[in-house]
Chain A
Amino acid sequence: MNPLLSVENLSLEFRTRSGIVRALENVSLQLPEGGSLGLVGESGSGKSVLSFAVLGIQDAAAKITGGAIRFAGNDLLADGGSAMKNMRGRELAMIFQNPRVALNPIRQVGQQIEDVLLRHTALRGAAARARAIECLSDVRIPDPERRYTAYPFELSGGMCQRVMIAIALACKPRLLIADEPTTGLDVTTQAAIMRLIRDLGREKGMATLLITHDLGLARDFCDNIAVMHAGHIVEVGATETLFRVPAHPYTAQLVRATPVGQERLEALASIPGNLPDLRRSDLPPCRFSERCELRSATCATPLPTLTASAGHVVACHHPQARTSS
């Protein structure tokens, strides 16, 4: 079966005054219809840049230097992005990190949902309003008629995030990109929002790309996980496999640095060093090699793409053996 979203060898650069930042290099990933993929990594690893590129809303200084993005068979980059204008918001939608900043502070939340409907559907007037109220009730907002006229500042953080989800889902998209949808929310609200996204995804057969730095969250809500480091995807695999037998040393260290399920503080691992400066002209083929314990002379040669098991891919010369099972 053809994947719904397929990113193939995508490279992206930012041209800045202090040099060219190679933000993405040869990034490939696939997301099947109705599936869920978690994109994890430290801040600055390129997770958001990748998702913006998929939606064609990257910064003006960004330039895609190679590769392709295919959505349901169509090449999104082919005609300079004009095909994207009609698909964005209808077929692909996004939930942004901070709902208070992403919502328009001086428009009623119901109207902000209607804006999407007016742009992409034939609904007008009372019908559009009725549909907007339906969207609010879809995301389990109590008393949707009254909330239609609320402004973002009148709602709690969790409610604002629900409104944003309602806007994203108004046109029943086939792909939802959620960029850190619960950062800044309380754990109890986080649990409610994540379950809502998961349940709505199942109801509507929608694929989800979840961007997060929280491995525990990705583990709970995604079928597959892709790990990013400094603009590279270093490992992709089924969630359970990735946690049980991480093959890339970076993934293994991320798993050990997460306090979830750890019994002692001493058992927490830290990852030495920082992300490399992506403006450097002498970036090694493996951008993790300078922080890696397993580095050897072969790491200076081009990266291999190894298949550890079915559907489990790793870009490393020294993939870790199945130490734990």
Chain B
Amino acid sequence: MSQLLEAIDLVKRFPVRVKGRKKLLHAVDGLNFHIDAGETVGLVGESGCGKSTLVRLLTRTLDITDGHVRFRGQGIGLIAARAMADHPLRREIQMVFQDPTDSLNPRYTARQTIAEAVCLLTDTRGTAAIDSAVEEAAAHVGLPPELLDRYPHQLSGGQKARVGIARAIVVKPRLLVLDEPTAALDVSVQAVILQLLDRLKREMNMSFLFVSHDLNVVRLLCDRVMVMYLGQIVETGPAREVFARPLHPYTRALIASLPGGHGNDADLLVGGDPQSPIDPDAHRCRLFGRCPRGAERCETQFPPLREISRGRSAACHFVAPTEGDVYVDAALALHQIDVDPARRATVATEFERLASMATLVQAVPLPDDSLPAPQYRP
């Protein structure tokens, strides 16, 4: 797959004054990640962790302090936020906002809202052509044509969410950024909208950046997930795998906090509020003080994000690959094959089980050019 969007050492700092002294708020602090074409990436974290700042940096509505953003191989980090409105790129990156009621113009009908995007961002001209584009988008999101001439107050929450999605996809963007699109909806409606998004991503071959605090939803919709804490990515990996076997203590806490009895209480965060993002100590782990595992080392030595096993990274001193992980990675490298990320955890567990049953007589040595096949005793 080709990379659609890439962020390199992305930084955003806001100047603030604390008791008259100039300081810097580190909202986004050196992020490196990419989104492939056709991929759905989930972005998870608490409020105040920098999710929204990151979204605004990627959609180029906020100027970048440092670092690079590449879109289809082209650097876009230097486009000024003010110039974005007239930039051809605006058509390629579209957003769906959190609250469908607040993000629709109350004096525009659904048709006018969707048509405005067509008029401003595409070359389509003429009433008939615009109408057919609007109706095509409406059909795509399952909005009945008779609702197109209604105003937002005449639509239900789910219908307004569909208008918001239709407005974004009518210009056929390559990247759709969704900022908590289901947070304001009832569960009964949420299910339909999630299924709609799942269908759209397959039909239209768009990439999604799905921002949410609901890991349950991210797990079902996304291919990959990035967990953010205080301006930094603390864990990434295939969504189902991260959910089934979280590595970073913060991810574990997020999962243990979910209603419905996942994880266990020992993983919950201790202590109260997070550290201040204003001039944070560069040598201290950001989770220090709230982390149930916190040790002395965490206060003096900052844990960078590092790869734990293929496709999975975490920023914690105490996360290490399991024996199973090592075997799987070695086997994959040897045979030059890939394994379905959803099944990887099962495979790794199975390896561990076999190893612990001591049926594996000759341990597979760590990656090396001459790996022997595992020998099993009958």
A residues contacting B by CB (< 8 A) are 42-43, 142, 156-159, 186-192, 194, 213-217, 219-220, 253-254, 257-262, 264-266, 268-271, 274
A42, B46: Cα distance in complex, Å: 25
Q: Are the C-beta atoms of B194 and A217 separated by less than 8 Å? A: no
Residues of B within 8 A of A215 (CB): 187
How many A-B contacts at CB < 8 Å in the complex?
95
A223 to chain B, nearest CB (A): 15
A142, B271: Cα distance in complex, Å: 9
A250 to chain B, nearest CB (A): 9
Q: Are the C-beta atoms of B260 and A213 separated by less than 8 Å? A: no
Given A142-B272, A266-B195: A191 and B188 interface contact (C-beta under 8 Å): no
From A143, which residue of chain B is reached at the shortest CB distance? B272
Residues of B within 8 A of A261 (CB): 260
Q: Are the C-beta atoms of A253 and B188 separated by less than 8 Å? A: yes
Question: Which of the candidate stretches B80-88, B166-174, B213-221, B300-308 sits at the interface with the other chain?
Answer: B213-221
Q: Are the C-beta atoms of B257 and A268 separated by less than 8 Å? A: no
A270, B189: Cα distance in complex, Å: 6
Residues of B within 8 A of A213 (CB): 186-187
Residues of A within 8 A of B219 (CB): 259
From A264, which residue of chain B is reached at the shortest CB distance? B220
Given contacts A142-B272, A190-B259, A257-B191, 6 further A-B contacts (CB under 8 A): A42-B187, A187-B254, A188-B46, A188-B269, A191-B256, A265-B198
A194, B198: Cα distance in complex, Å: 32
B36 to chain A, nearest CB (A): 20
Those of B113-166 within 8 Å (CB) of chain A: 156
Q: Are the C-beta atoms of A268 and B268 separated by less than 8 Å? A: no
20 A-B residue pairings within 8 Å (CB atoms)? A42-B186, A43-B186, A157-B47, A158-B272, A159-B273, A188-B46, A188-B253, A188-B254, A188-B269, A189-B46, A190-B257, A192-B269, A216-B259, A219-B259, A257-B190, A259-B216, A259-B220, A265-B195, A268-B195, A271-B188
B256 to chain A, nearest CB (A): 7
From A215, which residue of chain B is reached at the shortest CB distance? B187
Q: Are the C-beta atoms of B259 and A259 separated by less than 8 Å? A: no
Q: Are the C-beta atoms of A274 and B156 separated by less than 8 Å? A: yes
Residues of A within 8 A of B189 (CB): 270
Is B332 engaged at the interface, CB distance under 8 Å to the other chain? no
Given A259-B216, A274-B156: A268 and B259 interface contact (C-beta under 8 Å): no
From A183, which residue of chain B is reached at the shortest CB distance? B183
From A267, which residue of chain B is reached at the shortest CB distance? B220
Report which of A159, A217, A253, A270 forms a contact with B195, defined as CB distance below 8 A.
Answer: A270
Those of B236-278 within 8 Å (CB) of chain A: 253-254, 256-261, 268-269, 272-273
Residues of B within 8 A of A260 (CB): 216, 258-260
Q: Are the C-beta atoms of A265 and B259 separated by less than 8 Å? A: no
Residues of B within 8 A of A189 (CB): 46
A264, B219: Cα distance in complex, Å: 9
Residues of B within 8 A of A158 (CB): 272-273
From A273, which residue of chain B is reached at the shortest CB distance? B188
A8, B220: Cα distance in complex, Å: 42
A206 to chain B, nearest CB (A): 21
A190, B188: Cα distance in complex, Å: 22
Is B192 engaged at the interface, CB distance under 8 Å to the other chain? yes
Residues of A within 8 A of B217 (CB): 259
A257, B190: Cα distance in complex, Å: 8
From B259, which residue of chain A is reached at the shortest CB distance? A216
Contact with A along B200-217 (1 / 0, CB 8 A): 000000000000011111
A3, B267: Cα distance in complex, Å: 37
Report which of A42, A192, A259, A264 forms a contact with B188, defined as CB distance below 8 A.
Answer: A42
Q: Are the C-beta atoms of A270 and B191 separated by less than 8 Å? A: yes
A264, B191: Cα distance in complex, Å: 11
B269 to chain A, nearest CB (A): 5
Q: Which residue, of B188, B216, B273, has the highest number of chain A Cβ atoms within 10 A?
A: B188
Residues of B within 8 A of A187 (CB): 46, 213-215, 254, 257-258
